[in-house]
Structure formats: structure tokens, C-alpha cells
Amino acid sequence: MRAMVGEGSPQAGRPRSGPAVGPIPPPRTWRERFAALRNLPPFFGLVWRTSARLTVANLLLRLVRALLPVATLFVGKLVIDEAVALAQSAVALGSLEAWWSSGRLARVTELVVLELVLAVVSDGLGRAVTLVDSLLAERLSNTTSIALMEHAATLDLAQIEEPDLQDRLERARRQASGRMTLLGQLFGQAQDLVTIASFAAGLVVYAPWLIVLLVVALVPAFLGEAHFNAASYSLSFSRSPERRELDYVRYVGASVETAKEVSVFALHPFLIDRYRRLSESFYAANRALAIRRALWGTLLTTLGTCGYYAAYAIIVWRTLRGELTVGDLTFLAASFRRLGSLFESLLSTFSSIASQALYLDDLFSFFEIRPRVASPGNPRPFPKPIRDGFRFEDVGFRYPGSDRWAVRHLDFTLRAGEVLALVGENGAGKTTVVKLLARLYDPDEGRILLDGHDLRDYALEDVRRSVGVIFQDFVRYHMTASDNVAVGRIEAREDRDRIVAAAERSLAHDVIERLPERYEQLVGRRFRKGVELSGGEWQKVALARAYMRDADVLVLDEPTAALDARSEHDVFLRFRELTRGTTSILISHRFSTVRMADRIVVLHGGEVEAIGTHDELVAARGRYAELFELQASGYR
């Protein structure tokens, strides 16, 4: 497989690395279509790396099986010639016993037994090939899916969020499991080539011009099939966004996550109607293409049939003139018919392989996407412990595809061991600051320093490992309670003491202990035997991940929004006590929580408006004081 991970780190003021993620137009010309065959060598390489032993076994079995048809047909010719010779002999022995006693049936009996053995061997080889095909296909599907997941994990959050890349990822996912037929077709093509060569050798002895006639008759059907295969790919490519929408509507209309709101708002008729319109649009486009394909296919295939019967008539005439025996007639007629069928299958399969090679572009081109946020070639060692902290210097960032700055001219410091709170209205840029700190994105302007060095000078994995973030929209993993905590540091998944300690610190331990199977209880209702948690219970479990991570920098981005004011206050008070001396960032809309921080940064419109302690900001009578008074009045 092609290289999946690039190196190099984009610096401030430099263009971001990696190719644009825009859509790849589908091939349109014959040259472009056949150029897609370049994907076959890396595909075969992927198959070989999946299992060299199964690949070799498949090829050897198919090689032997490829030679059996011509051998069986030739033995059949000998049986017929022997039977005709015996029937025309002057000796009439009467009963079967007399024929057998005379020994004149020995030769034909041997030939019939040989043909029976060949038939049994052919059937056994066919079943063995099917078995190996299925095993190899399953291994290949798993290997490709894992490679796809691994590569997707290297991409940036900004890339994953782009609709064009989501379309490409969707197409790549389909190819990871949908190209298994290509595997059988490739090996089947090799088998058919060997069989064709053996049949062609037999025809050359009698009438080499028959092969030329056969090829000429089948070329129109091949060209038609190739055209419609390319048209089918173009249709599938162009409908990728609609297909994602179709899958999404189907998910929303029949998902446990959306069931409550869909029922309350009676959305089923709307969703069903939308799904019906989208699916009917797909059906209409596919039907029109299928009808044209069937009509042209029938017409072009008729030419091949006419060519076969012209050759058949010539073979019969030569037999009547005594130039060929009855066995020769049977062998040639059957060989020509079989060869015609094989040629037709070969050309059709080749056209299908060329078409599927187009689809492989979706898979391999996805592997060529390089992350924009990457580690430098020679990263600095991450400081242990952090001495000075983080410094935002004139940092600006725009989300891809947006003209609006999410944050700009950010200048502030997060000191080592300090608890810093970010405050601001929705859209002020609080979560963006956190994403920049964790290097989910890199700044478009300015830089973020860690202990005096650009954050991009450190290995990306070290930064991610040292910064623990719990977002408001944390993931509810439909796994065991233990695994839901362990994802904070998944390599410590078997360390039950650490998991329990993290749960105790987040107040999730009591929640988990009340579950039927405690830490081994499956949570969430997606799977059988799963137990659903309340919003507040889920948040305590999510908070346990922060303690499980034991990172150098802890960030809580409104993860307690589902808790009541008292519960959130208790959680943050406990967080403050347990992480004393740890560099931390808190984001919350509740000022009773925010005031626990050492300092508070007030964001407005993506810029820093004020920095100070709670008392300092209230005394300054600015936006912070205004928001504080508005919230406080609601409790009076």
C-alpha cells in the first residue's frame, strides 16, 4: 500500500501542507479509464501482504483447474471416435458380456473412467477455490478496513470536518468492503487466460482462422460493456453527497439516539418522505442506465452469436466432406463454443475489472491524503514537567471554508500549575482555543509557545498525550463502564485500580457501583443488555477520563452542562482540589464555578477582551461584570 503518513510541520505564515481535499473528477476518456488499471498492482500487493500463503494456494488451484476443461473435452473426443470406430466395425458380438470378453471395450472404458476422474477432480478444485477465495476475501476486507481506520486517524480534525473529505471517506469505506469481487475476478481472469490458451492451442491445429473470427465478433460487446461500466462509476461518483444524505436520513429515522425527538416532533412522515424522494431519484438514474445497458448489450452480443454459428456451419461442412471426424466435430464445436464463452467472459470481466479499478481510485487516493497538522522531522522533547507554561502570541484561526475569523489577535499566557477559566458568549472562541492548544488545529496567524518554543516544534503524539480534554459533546461509548473510563488512557485499560481511582475522583464510582454488573456493565442502549445512564451520570463517567489520563494539562470544556448548579459546583470544587498544581483550563457558563479559577480570560468576538481574577473583573465593570450580574439576578 502507498505511504500513509507524511512528515513536516507547517509553520506560522507558511501555507498548510498536503494536497487539497477537493473532489476528484471521475475518469471520462478511454485513456483515463484504462489508466485506472495502475491501481491493480498495489491492490495485488495488498492482497499478497494480507496472506501470501492463501494467495499462492489460490493461484495454484486455479492453474490446475484451468487445464481441466480442454483435457476433459479432448478425452470426450477420443471416447466418441473410439465408439464410432467400434460401431462401424464389421464384427457384431451381440451382448455386452461378449463385447467385454473380447477386450474391445477396454480402451473406451479407460477413457470414460478418465473423464469421470477429471470431472470429480474439477468439482473438488472448484470447491477448494471457492473456500480459499472466501477466506482471502474476508482477510482482505478486514485488513483494508483496519488500514483505512489507521489512516483516517492520522488526518486533522479540520480535514475530517470538510464535506469533500467526508465524501471521499464514504467512498473509501465502501471500497474497503465492496471490492472483494475484484479479488475473485482477478484470479478468475488469470485462470480463464490459461484455459483460453489451452483451447486456442487445440483450435490452431485444426483451424486457426476461427480464433480471429471469434475475437472480431466479440469486440463490439466488450467496448459496450466497458462504456457502461465507466458510466456506472461516474453515476456512483457524482451521487456521493446524496448517498451520504440518504444514509443520514435513514439513521435519523430509525436510531435510538434520535428516537425521542423524532417521536415528540412527529418527524417520521417528513423523514420517510425525504428518504423516499432521495431513493426514488437514485432508482430513476440507475434504471435509465440499466435499460440502456440491456438494450445495447443485447444488440452487441448478437454479433458474437452470429460469428459463432458461422464458424459452426463451416465445421459441420468440413465434417460432411470427410476432413474431420465426428470426434473432431464434437471437440471443435464444443471448444469453439467454450472459447467464445470464455472470450466473452474474459472481455466482460476485464471491462468490469477496469471499472472496479476506477473505484480503487477512491480507496488509494484517500490513502494519499496527508495531514496538515503533523510532527516536525526532528521534534523537541516535551518538557517534563512544564516550567513556564503556554503563551498565545497574536494567534488567529479560521475554520476551513469560512471567511470569518474564529479567533484573532489572541495574546495571553497559561502559566504552569495555573487554573485558567475561559468565559464568553456562544461563538466567542472558547472551544477553538482548546482545539488549538491540543493541536487539533494549527494557527493561521501567530504562534503558541510552550516553555518558549513553538508548539509545532514538539511531536504531535507527545502534545496529544500530555493534554487531556473533555468536551461538552463528549462521546458516549456503548461499551462497558470500565472501558468508558479507560479511554482516557486506553493503554492502561487492564489497570482496574487506576480506573476505579479515576471514577472515584469524578464521583462516577457510586454511579457504576449501582449498575447490575458494575464496571463490566455495558452502558448505552445500542446493544443487548446495555443499561442507559442519565445525562449527569454520563458526564461523571466522562470526567473520569480526565483523571484517568493524568495529563500535564487538563481541559474541561463545559462537560458538566447537564448537571445542576450545585452538582457542577461540587464537581469543579473537587477538580480544583485534586488537580492542585496541574495546569488546567475550565470553560463554564456558571460564574459560581468560574470564580474558582486563578485567572479568567474574557473572550468576545474571537478576541481577548479582559484578563483578571473574578474580583478584578467584577470591579472593572466590563462585560464579565455584566454577565455575572445577569446570572446572579436569576438566582435572587
Higher pLDDT, 271 or 5: 271
> Does residue 558 surpass a pLDDT of 70?
yes
Closest by CA to 397, choosing from 449, 440, 444, is: 444
User: Do 5 and 18 contact (CB within 8 A), yes or no?
Assistant: no
Closest by CA to 457, choosing from 553, 549, 380, 554, is: 380
**Residue ranges of E strands in 335-435:** 389-397, 407-415, 419-423
Residues 462 and 491 in one domain: no
pLDDT average, residue stretch 609-631? 86
Residues 428 and 572 in one domain: yes
Identify the pLDDT of residue 602.
Answer: 92
Residues 547 and 562 in one domain: no
Residue 51 is placed in which grid cell?
Answer: 496472506
User: Do 561 and 472 contact (CB within 8 A), yes or no?
Assistant: yes
> Does residue 230 surpass a pLDDT of 80?
no
Identify the pLDDT of residue 624.
Answer: 85
Identify the pLDDT of residue 433.
Answer: 93
Helix, strand, coil % over all residues of the chain, rounded to 5: 65, 10, 25
Amino acid at 605: G
Identify the pLDDT of residue 13.
Answer: 37
Task: Report if residue 9 sits inside a domain.
Answer: no
* Separation of alpha carbons 454 and 443, rounded Å: 11
pLDDT average, residue stretch 510-530? 89
Residues 539 and 590 in one domain: no
Task: Report if residue 345 sits inside a domain.
Answer: yes
Higher pLDDT, 124 or 198: 124
Amino acid at 575: F
**Residue ranges of E strands in 228-379:** none
Higher pLDDT, 398 or 223: 398
User: Do 132 and 61 contact (CB within 8 A), yes or no?
Assistant: yes
Specify the CATH number for the domain of residue 485. Answer: 3.40.50.300
Task: Report if residue 377 sits inside a domain.
Answer: no
How many Cα atoms sit within 13 Å of 232 on the Cβ side?
20
Give the H/E segment covering residue 15: none
> Does residue 156 surpass a pLDDT of 80?
no
Task: Report if residue 4 sits inside a domain.
Answer: no
Domain final position from 501, 526, 551: 551
- Model pLDDT for residues 484-518, shown as the tens digit of each residue: 999 888 888 899 999 999 999 888 999 999 999 99
Task: Report if residue 6 sits inside a domain.
Answer: no
Identify the pLDDT of residue 390.
Answer: 94
Identify the pLDDT of residue 182.
Answer: 74
Higher pLDDT, 539 or 433: 433
> Does residue 12 surpass a pLDDT of 70?
no
Closest by CA to 429, choosing from 413, 406, 459, is: 406
Which range scores top for mean pLDDT: 18-27, 551-560, 606-615? 606-615
Task: Report if residue 381 sits inside a domain.
Answer: no
Contacts with 61 (C-beta within 8 Å, 6 or more apart), sequence order: 125, 128, 129, 132
- What's the Rg (C-alpha) of the chain? 36
> Does residue 302 surpass a pLDDT of 80?
no
- Model pLDDT for residues 369-382, shown as the tens digit of each residue: 888 888 888 999 99
- Model pLDDT for residues 68-111, shown as the tens digit of each residue: 888 888 888 888 887 877 767 655 556 666 666 666 678 888 88
Report the interhelical angle of 52-88 vs 180-206 (nearest 10°).
Answer: 30
Identify the pLDDT of residue 287.
Answer: 82
- Neighbour tally for 295: CB within 10 Å: 10
pLDDT average, residue stretch 432-451? 92
Residues 130 and 168 in one domain: yes
* Helix (H), strand (E), coil (C) string for 91-124: CCCCCHHHHHHHCCCHHHHHHHHHHHHHHHHHHH
Residues 251 and 173 in one domain: yes
420 phi and psi, to 5 degrees? Answer: -110, 135
Residues 182 and 271 in one domain: yes
Domain final position from 533, 551, 569: 551
Identify the pLDDT of residue 279.
Answer: 80
Task: Report if residue 163 sits inside a domain.
Answer: yes
Exposure b/e, 263-277, CB count within 10 A at least 16 = b:
eeeeeeeebeebbee
Higher pLDDT, 367 or 61: 61
> Does residue 118 surpass a pLDDT of 80?
yes
User: Do 372 and 16 contact (CB within 8 A), yes or no?
Assistant: yes
Higher pLDDT, 63 or 256: 63
Residues 359 and 408 in one domain: no
Identify the pLDDT of residue 513.
Answer: 93
Residue 108 is placed in which grid cell?
Answer: 473406451
**pLDDT bracket for residue 200 (50, 70, 90):** confident
Provide the domain limits for residue 139: 30-367
Residues 456 and 534 in one domain: no
Report how many helices (DSSP H) and strands (DSSP E) the chain contains, helices first: 23, 10
> Does residue 577 surpass a pLDDT of 60?
yes
Residues 496 and 412 in one domain: no
User: Do 358 and 43 contact (CB within 8 A), yes or no?
Assistant: no
Identify the pLDDT of residue 304.
Answer: 66
User: Do 296 and 220 contact (CB within 8 A), yes or no?
Assistant: no
User: Do 364 and 358 contact (CB within 8 A), yes or no?
Assistant: no
Domain final position from 551, 578, 599: 551
* Separation of alpha carbons 222 and 389, rounded Å: 68
- Neighbour tally for 510: CB within 10 Å: 11
Which range scores top for mean pLDDT: 23-27, 160-164, 413-417? 413-417
Closest by CA to 383, choosing from 453, 447, 441, 470, is: 453
Residues 420 and 438 in one domain: yes
As a whole number, the mean pLDDT across the chain is 78
Specify the CATH number for the domain of residue 266. Answer: 1.20.1560.10
**pLDDT bracket for residue 176 (50, 70, 90):** low
Residue 246 is placed in which grid cell?
Answer: 440518504
**pLDDT bracket for residue 554 (50, 70, 90):** confident
Higher pLDDT, 103 or 393: 393
Contacts with 70 (C-beta within 8 Å, 6 or more apart), sequence order: 195, 198, 199, 201, 202, 335
Higher pLDDT, 331 or 384: 384
pLDDT average, residue stretch 176-184? 66
Task: Report if residue 519 sits inside a domain.
Answer: yes
> Does residue 326 surpass a pLDDT of 90?
no
Residues 575 and 512 in one domain: no
**pLDDT bracket for residue 238 (50, 70, 90):** low
Higher pLDDT, 117 or 563: 117
- Model pLDDT for residues 90-102, shown as the tens digit of each residue: 555 566 666 666 6
Total domain count for the chain?
3
* Separation of alpha carbons 122 and 191, rounded Å: 13
Higher pLDDT, 98 or 38: 38
Q: 308-311: which pairs have CB atoms within 8 A and are 24 or more residues apart? A: 308/214, 308/217, 308/336, 308/337, 308/340, 310/213, 311/210, 311/213, 311/214, 311/336
- Neighbour tally for 523: CB within 10 Å: 25
C-alpha separations of 508 from 501, 502, 545, 549 in Å: 10, 8, 10, 15
